[in-house]
Amino acid sequence: MKVMGNWFRLHFLENEGMAFGMKLNEAPTGKIILTLFRLVAVVFGFFLLKRLVDKLYSKGAIICGALILAGALGNLIDSIFYGMIFSHSSYHIREVAQFVPFGQGYGKILQGKVVDMLYFPLFSGTFPKWVPGVGGNHFEFFEPVFNIADAAISIGVLTLVFFQKKLIHKKTVPVPVQDA
- Give me the active site residues, please: 116, 150
d(CA 80, CA 42): 13
- Dihedral sign from CA coordinates of 4, 66, 20, 147: negative
- Dihedral sign from CA coordinates of 49, 35, 103, 12: positive
Q: Residue 119 has what DSSP assignment?
A: E
Of the candidates 163, 162, 159, which has an alpha carbon nearest to the alpha carbon of residue 151? 159
Q: Which ranges in the chain belong to alpha helices (H)?
A: 28-54, 59-85, 148-162, 164-167
d(CA 40, CA 17): 17
Strand pairing class (2-4; 8-15):
antiparallel
